Chain A
Amino acid sequence: MPRRPIRHRQKYQPLMFSSFARSIARLNSISTVNRQKHDFQVHEKKLPGNSAGGGLMKNNMEIKNEESESSDEEEFDELVPAEFLFFDPKPEDFHGVKTLLQTYLDDKEWDLSGFVDLILEQTTVGAVVKLEKDEDNGIFSVVSALNFGRYKDNKCILELKKFLLRVCKEKDIIGNLRLLLGEEAHSVGLLVSHRVINLPPQLLPHIYDGLFNEVSWATEDEPTEELQNSFRFKFYIVVSKIYKLIKHANKKRRQNNDSDEEIVYVKPEDEIFHKLSSWSFSFPLQTQRVEHHELRNYRQMGLVMAIEAGKISTFLQELKSSIDES
C-alpha cells in the first residue's frame, strides 16, 4: 500500500506495516500520553434504518483533535477532522486486516490468510474501521467474534487451538482451556480485536457496543436456527499482549519504583477484561520488541483470558466510564 501524504495525518502517524515500526509508534504513544492533553469532541450520528447485517455505515463519528502544545517533529497546529466509519468486513479488506493480525499468534507460522478470510466472510458479526474517502483503503481497526464450534474444522482454528494449548503452562488452567476449546466449543467465541496503536480511545466504546449488539441481533436475525445458536456465546476468549514487570530487576530499587505497576496493558480494555475474567494465563513471546527506556523493566508477554458472556454488560459500562474519565 503506498503511503499517504503526511499532511493529512497530523499526530496520527502513517500506517505502519512492519511490527518493528508499530512497536516504535506504540512506545512513542505511551511516552507522549503523559506529556500532551487532547481535547476530543465526539459527535455521534446514528443513521436511520440501522440494523445488523444491513447498511454499509453503522456509525458515523467525527473527532476533532485540538492540540494544546505544538509537536516538535511536525509543525501542524490546526484542527484535523478525522471521520472514522464502521463497515461490514469485505473481501477487499484482506490486506489491511492481515497486517493488523500479523503477530496474533506471536511468531508461529499458521494459516493467517485463512483466519483473515474467516473474519471477512462473517459479515453479520464483525466490523472494520476505515476513514471516509480513503484511496488507500486503510484498515484502522478490526473486531469480530468467531464461534469455535462453527469453525472447528478450519485449518486456522485447529492451529490456533493447538497453539493455545501448547503455550498454556499453568496446570490448573489448562483443564479449563481444554474444556472451552473442546466440549464447550459451540458456545465459546474468540473475540478478535486489533487496531492501530494510536486510534483515538473515544472509538472503543462504540467498537465494542457495535460488536456485542451485532452478536445479540445475530441470535435473532440469522437465517437458520443453527447459526442463531452459534452466536449464543457463554464465554469469550481473548488473546492479547501485555507488559509484565520483570521481578528480579526491581529488588534493589524498591523505593524508586513504587509507582511501577505489575502489568502494563497495551490496550485499555484488556485491563477491564482481565479484571472480569473467569481465568487467564500469560505466556512468554518469542518475538523481540525494541525496549523503550520507560519499559526497560518490563517484558512483553501474551495474555489469554476467558470472560463469561454475562459479564459483558459490566465490561461495556466500565469501558465507557474509564474512557470518559481520561
Chain B
Amino acid sequence: MATRLQFENSCEVGVFSKLTNAYCLVAIGGSENFYSAFESDLADVIPVVKTSIAGTRIIGRLCAGNKNGLLLPHNTTDQELQHLRNSLPDQVVVQRVEERLSALGNCIACNDHVALTHTDLDKETEEMIADVLGVEVFRQTIAGNILVGSYCAFSNTGGLVHPHTSVEDLDELSTLLQVPLVAGTVNRGSEVIAAGITVNDWTAFCGSDTTATELSVIESVFKLRAAQPTAIVDEMRKSLIDSYV
C-alpha cells in the first residue's frame, strides 16, 4: 500500500527518510505525524530510527542502504554513527565512506541485489558498495542525468525512473536491474523521483501532492497491491480457465 504524507509542508518525503527492507531512517524535527505515519505501518516489522546525518535533516539524500548495509558520508559525526550502529539490527553493516561526492543518496540507487551509481564515483567507493551492501554495481546515467540516486527509485519488485527516459534506456536498465521499470513522475509532475517517494518491497511513502494517477502507477509497478484478493483471483483465473466457450 502506498501512503501519502508530508514533512513540514514539504512533499519531498524521500529527502527526509530512507526506507529499506530491514530498517527505516526518519529525520528529526517535522511534526510527530511524519514519524507516526512510518511507525504505524512499520513498527512491528522493522525498526524506525530517528536520526540526523552530518547534523542535517536531509538524511534520505546523504545515505544509501539496503537490508545488508548502510553507507554514510564522511561528514557523519561519530555520535550519529554510534547511534545508528546501536539502533539498527546486527546484520546491517553501518559504514562511513570517504568519498568526495558526499550526497550518497543522490549518487547511488540500490535494492538488495543491484546498485546503480554515479559515473564519477571512486573505485574504492564502488568496491565498498559491493562489499557492504552485497550488490552488483553498475555505473549508469538516467535520461542523461548522472545523479542516478535522485532520478530513480527501485525495490526488489519494480522501479520508477525519470519521465524522459527513452524506451531503449528503460529496456537496458530493466535488464541490468532484473525488475520491471516504468518512466513516470511523482508529486504532481516532479521529475526527481527519489525525492518524492521512498519505497521497499511491501510499502511506499510518497508526497501528498502525488496525484491518484501517479499513485496507481506506483502501486502497480512496485506490486504493492499484491495483498488484495482481486489481484490474486486475476492471477489464478489464467490457470483456472482453459478456454472460453
Judge if A102 is at the interface, Cβ distance under 8 Å: yes
10 closest pairs, A vs B, by CB? A112-B9, A113-B209, A109-B9, A107-B8, A109-B31, A102-B9, A109-B6, A94-B188, A109-B8, A95-B190
Give A4 to B141 CA distance when docked, in angstroms: 19
A113 B208 Cβ-Cβ under 8 A: yes
Give A112 to B190 CA distance when docked, in angstroms: 17
Give A105 to B225 CA distance when docked, in angstroms: 37
> Which residues of chain A from 96 to 133 have a CB within 8 Å of any chain B CB?
102, 107-110, 112-113
Residue numbers in B under 8 Å from A112 (CB-CB): 9
B190 A102 Cβ-Cβ under 8 A: no
Give A32 to B221 CA distance when docked, in angstroms: 50
Judge if B10 is at the interface, Cβ distance under 8 Å: yes
A109 B189 Cβ-Cβ under 8 A: no
B189 A95 Cβ-Cβ under 8 A: yes
A102 B10 Cβ-Cβ under 8 A: yes
Give A108 to B33 CA distance when docked, in angstroms: 12
User: Would you list 16 pairs from A and B whose C-beta atoms are within 8 A, ordered by A residue?
Assistant: A2-B145, A2-B191, A94-B188, A95-B188, A95-B189, A95-B190, A102-B9, A102-B10, A108-B9, A109-B8, A109-B9, A109-B31, A109-B33, A112-B9, A113-B11, A113-B209
Tell me the number of A-to-B contacts counted with CB atoms below 8 Å: 23
- Main secondary structure on chain B at its contact with chain A? loop
Residues of B within 8 A of A (CB): 6, 8-11, 31, 33, 145, 188-191, 208-209
Give A108 to B188 CA distance when docked, in angstroms: 22
Min Cβ gap A22→B in Å is 13
Contact-residue size bin, chain A (C-beta under 8 Å from the other chain):
10 to 19
Residue numbers in A under 8 Å from B190 (CB-CB): 95
The chain B residue sitting closest to A108, CB to CB, is B9
Per-residue contact bits, chain A 119-156, to B (CB 8 Å; 1 contact, 0 not): 00000000000000000000000000000000000000
Give A247 to B9 CA distance when docked, in angstroms: 32
Residue numbers in A under 8 Å from B208 (CB-CB): 113
Give A2 to B142 CA distance when docked, in angstroms: 14
Residue numbers in B under 8 Å from A107 (CB-CB): 8-9
Residue numbers in A under 8 Å from B209 (CB-CB): 113
Give A102 to B7 CA distance when docked, in angstroms: 12
Per-residue contact bits, chain A 1-13, to B (CB 8 Å; 1 contact, 0 not): 0100000000000
Give A15 to B9 CA distance when docked, in angstroms: 19
Residue numbers in A under 8 Å from B6 (CB-CB): 109
Residue in contact with A110 in the complex, picked from B9, B11, B188, CB distance below 8 Å: B9
Per-residue contact bits, chain A 23-41, to B (CB 8 Å; 1 contact, 0 not): 0000000000000000000
The chain B residue sitting closest to A288, CB to CB, is B29
Point out which of A2, A95, A109 has the most chain B C-beta atoms below 10 A from its C-beta.
A109
> Which residues of chain A from 68 to 99 have a CB within 8 Å of any chain B CB?
94-95
Residue numbers in A under 8 Å from B9 (CB-CB): 102, 107-110, 112
Min Cβ gap A136→B in Å is 11
Question: Given A107-B8, A109-B8, A113-B208, 10 other A-B contacts at CB below 8 A?
Answer: A2-B145, A94-B189, A95-B188, A95-B190, A102-B10, A108-B9, A109-B9, A109-B31, A113-B188, A113-B209
> Which residues of chain A from 269 to 315 have a CB within 8 Å of any chain B CB?
none
Min Cβ gap B167→A in Å is 22
Give A110 to B31 CA distance when docked, in angstroms: 12
Min Cβ gap B35→A in Å is 13
